[in-house]
Amino acid sequence: VNDHPFPYVLTLSGTLRSPKMLFRPPFLMLMPVPLDVQTEAVITITPQDFVRPSRIGVKLPEIEHPDGTRTCPFSVQFPDGQDIVLSSDGAANELTCRICFRSSKPMSFLREIFFTDEEEN
């Protein structure tokens, strides 16, 4: 360009980071309680590498009883909201999540609770 016989070469490189969430604690064990008594635990969710605001969703597991009935004994609350808000430096706010369990039937199980963003990641 501008009477230079050699063209300029521009090389771009970058790293794409997938958004993820860290959980404290990473595993949750709820204490046994009498029937129809609620037990709960609080976890902290730290969003990482989100490039835009998002809203956290939750998929709770259904449990099948020996008699064939199905129920979801869990409930989830976000006392301070479930929106991921980015600060000017790109950091995201931590979210507090309260997970509650109550059942009128005796049960013991191991299941996963799925937390997703608005794009189902």
Asked, for residue 27, whether it belongs to a domain, the answer is yes
The model's pLDDT over 54-100, given as tens digits with 9 standing for 90+, comes to 999 999 999 988 888 899 999 999 999 999 988 877 778 899 999 99
Instruction: Look at residue 8 and tell me whether its pLDDT is greater than 80.
Output: no
pTM to 2 decimal places? 0.78
Query: Is 34 inside any structural domain?
Result: yes
35 within some domain: yes
Domain count for the chain:
1
In a domain, 8, yes or no: no
Q: What is the pLDDT of residue 65?
A: 84
Distance between CA atoms of 69 and 64, rounded to whole angstroms?
A: 6
Determine contact, residues 76/100, Cβ cutoff 8 Å: yes
Strand 70-71 relative to strand 63-64: parallel, antiparallel, unpaired? antiparallel
Does residue 80 belong to any structural domain of this protein? yes
Q: What is the pLDDT of residue 97?
A: 96
Write down the pLDDT at residue 13.
83
Domain extent, residue 46, equals 20-116
Q: Is residue 84 a part of any domain in this protein? A: yes
Above pLDDT 90, what percent of the chain? 48
Residue 3 resides in a domain: no
Residue 2 pLDDT > 90:
no
On whether residue 93 sits in a domain, the answer given is: yes
